[in-house]
Structure 1
């Protein structure tokens, strides 16, 4: 009896020390959770099983004025308790049907191995997706414990979204793209501060998914980012993604202003409207029903800044179809996509017949195409209908069409351009693994559709809270082990590899590492359909 009581007490004592998040010293008496930064002292914590140190919610910049480049990071006296891992920028939370978030939201979360070493750890900086209108660096979703156990540091960042990050009016007071410049501010902060946490500022890999990958592609194609990162990983995104660039940003702003009760196209009037409206009202006005229109929420995205008077530091000065031709930074790149990306967008459509699709096809045409005549437009629609809706159900046709037009083709063009314009190594992947961990798909109404949806690959690299108590199946564990080994070996050496996997970089012909039930090199998937898009782009692509 006494022995049982003693064992219970020992267990409770051990558990207490495992979860204790204050005044934790390592074996040698060194406090590894308190960091002295130029901003002030920061105190972090261990996770439950002491597998990583966490410094959550550290501000890297300050929002001093709406629609403007962020200011310097704040300073403080005393100790900043870095335990707020779920700060959110202003956005609409559709599940609760209400706006959430805050304007001064520029924080980052830092996760490190549990102990310091004499050598600095390589750093992976993750930029979340979400169409530039939703998402965050939340620990509940992007817990990088799988990556950190491979002895890297992972930093996840927030950036302003929607109108707050991408109101683009062609005037100095609202130049656009400040959300992208938030990301650059975070990368600069990391260069200046990551060594305090044991990270190597000379070994930084940027890793983005969807809008995060689009952002990274812009950074790759401008020399102003040189030295901020040394390798790049782009999951399911490129600057050519049609939903993630605005050719007519003032019209989009005017549409949202109309919902706020104003009717104008004048940039200065629009500025006053957005300045004087509450954050919640702006977020509410930017939300729309996506039924039969998956792109109704993409009002504020990256734009051209060339029209901005006296803008000293424009980031995007050309359209994506021109930017993509630049040689860009000479850094190694991983770029790829999932086999059924389009599930994410197709879920919003309830068309039952091909005739319904044809009648509404105008809203499905990607904006990197521009037709000089109605005849050309009709020809494209006829060809697309024939390819995607002759042999598939309507919903499967939409899935394949969105996969190709929104992700596969834009990413393929990006990969080819990156391969041709530099001596960099470019590694392509094709993720087609399907299991219960394909979380993004299971959140859609098409959850039982086979394949890997947009963003599903992330949940084999991060551990969302929903899976924390569910042990991975043997097959899932094998995919997690393979992907984390590939991603982290790339972050360490620039060459993604494991003891059993050889990933060949692409040369003249694109080759892909298939990540699924088989791990093997394959040629470009869906080559005939990609050739259709290539020919279409040559005929009708924006010049």
Structure 2
């Protein structure tokens, strides 16, 4: 009896000691404790929001999250999903959330959801943070992990690998936010998504999916869209076959054997050939979101993004998006090799989403494109600026502009368009030139937390402006609401005008990328093909996702992190409700008080 009383006493002491240092919040899974950090905010790290199925079920949709009875200490265990480079804190069941909550009495605060980028192959929820915005005391910021690479985006259209596990993780997280954010002081009816690169491609997919209706209200998409480099893959099954061959498996035409290969191959091997997945000449990533085959399960992508946009089959929300003027600088590491290949066969560098009736037509179009960007001369070191502009356009800029026009024509979307081109004395010029420009996601980095020591006053002012535009959009759905002292920024029309030029001088302009965009308009109108639609379903079997998570075969790679002793073991019953958790918790405290009588 006294052992029980002693245990209860220490539990009570933990809860009441340092009341200002810790904050206890009840969630649908049980109570969680976050700690106060410098800057006047409480941070809740690594809260499981879903359970990633493991073992041979590793590619399926996420399962319900664990539950617990005693407080879960939401401390940073640096949990990450399997990726390269391999680190000891990676684990297969990696679906955790992080919340940054201001130390304020206000409730019903707007919520900012950060979706991390990383080519769908690497990254984690804490790779970008928005503490500076949270410190305004006016919003809550949240982030999360989702499955990556083959783990998150193997798409075979089978029961074992239906596709889009990583996107389904994202949907599961948004549902978790809807159910729990009010307990942290947030407003579940005022949620804004923010992302760059592949994260932005994910967000675009989420805005077009019927599975996300009512889960968010605004979105900020930067340097990424659901077409182009961060878009839905063209032929996911062929990609899976090609990658399996790269890993030494040759019996790829038997879909059952191909699925079994991926189910039983170690994560060390599945993450070993990143070079065969990203940075391809045709700009496409090999494992990314896909159009799903109907096999009787919930799908998050049921049609190509362009079809969904053209038909207006999505829920319209205010959008703020754009790109930098030198996105193509992310292809600089390949410059010396690729200029040789461009001179040999430029058609290999055409976007994969274009389709041609013959190789002859493809070569003709390739020569037109090459001449438009490089003239009649070979691609050399002297062509580096044209090289940067070419990849700026095909990777991100043109796909985003085409998406904007399609959305505005279909549903009259409210989209605030920008081009970020800010440079200062700290901006390095590109090789072989004196030209400077803003690289991939530079605008997003300016809004996130960063060390500004050593920055120029001009850059510090740009950071202030971008953060104010961002906060305005989060709060009102417009970067310049009534009363704003910033340069006015109206939404763009279907002709992509006006747009905000975010450079050394802020200026509202028309006709973004005028000649270059018009050039690609003509080509895409004639040759755009987009993703291959999956064949009709051959089975009517419907399976449920209630399989308990099992330990996976990770004997060749360290992916698990020991659970701290202060963290309770998750329960097996995902149906335990918040009410039950609260009742049990109060019963424990009542027992303690009664024992003192």
> Which TM-score bucket, shorter chain as reference?
0.7 to 0.9
Residue among 358, 375, 388 paired with 1:399: 388
User: Residue in 2 aligned with 1:416?
Assistant: 405
Matched, 1:268 2:256: yes
Alignment partner, residue 486 of structure 1:
469
SS of corresponding position for 1:458: helix
1:182 to 152, 169, 183: 169
Q: TM-score, normalised by structure 2?
A: 0.78
Q: Distance in 2 between matches of 1:166 and 1:487?
A: 31
Out of 116, 123, 127, the residue aligned to residue 135 of structure 1 is 123
User: Is 1:298 aligned to 2:281, yes or no?
Assistant: no
Q: Does 1:542 align with 2:525?
A: no
1:190-225: per-residue Cα shift (whole Å, max 9, x none)? 000011111100100111212122122222223331
- Structure 1 residues 81 and 217, CA, compared in 2 at 3 Å: closer, same or farther? same
Q: 1:92: which partner in 2? A: 84
- On the 8 A contact 1:91/1:99 being kept in 2, the answer is no
Distance 1:321 1:541 in 2: 10
Q: Distance in 2 between matches of 1:196 and 1:508?
A: 41
Structure 1 residues 42-77: Cα deviation after superposition (integer angstroms, max 9, x where no partner): 1112232x3322111111100123000001111123
Aligned-partner Cα distance in 1 for 2:60–2:341: 43
Q: 1:83 to 1:524 in 2, by over 3 A?
A: farther
- Residue 339 of structure 1 aligns with which residue? 325
Distance in 1 between residues matched to 2:351 and 2:521, nearest whole Å: 13
Partner secondary structure for residue 405 of structure 2: helix
Return closer, same or farther for 1:530/1:424 CA change in 2, 3 Å cut-off: closer
* 8 Å Cα contact 2:317/2:414 also seen in 1: yes
Label 1:112 to 1:99 Cα distance change in 2 as closer, same or farther (>3 A).
Answer: closer
Per the alignment, do residues 412 and 269 of structure 1 end up closer, same or farther by CA in structure 2, a change over 3 Å counting? same
Q: 1:383 aligns with which of 353, 365, 368?
A: 368
Distance 1:451 1:103, change over 3 A: same
How far off is 1:437 after superposition? 8.2
1:82 to 66, 74, 77: 74
Q: How does 1:289-328 map to 2 (within 5 A)?
A: 293=280, 298-306=285-293, 308-310=294-296, 312-327=297-312, 328=314
Corresponding residue SS for 1:56: strand
Secondary structure in 2 matching 1:404: helix
Is the contact made by 1:43 and 1:55 (CA closer than 8 Å) also made in structure 2?
yes
Which blocks of at least 5 consecutive residues in structure 2 are unaligned? 1-14, 531-597
Determine whether 1:278 maps to 2:295.
Answer: no
- Paired position in structure 1 for 2:42: 53
RMSD over aligned Cα atoms? 2.8
Trace 1:461-480 onto structure 2 (pairs within 5 A): 461-464=447-450, 467=451, 470=453, 472-480=455-463
What is the total number of aligned residue pairs between the two structures? 502
**Quick one: structure 1 residues 53 and 453, their matched pair in 2 at CA, closer, same or farther if it must change by over 3 Å?**
same
Please name the residue that 1:68 is paired with: 60
Does 1:217 pair with 2:204? yes
Query: In structure 2, what is the equivalent of residue 350 of structure 1?
Result: 336
Equivalent residues of 2:424, 2:456 under 8 A apart? no
| 3-state SS of paired residue (1:67) | coil
Deviations 1:378-418 (A, max 9, x none): 22111111121238833322211111111111000111122
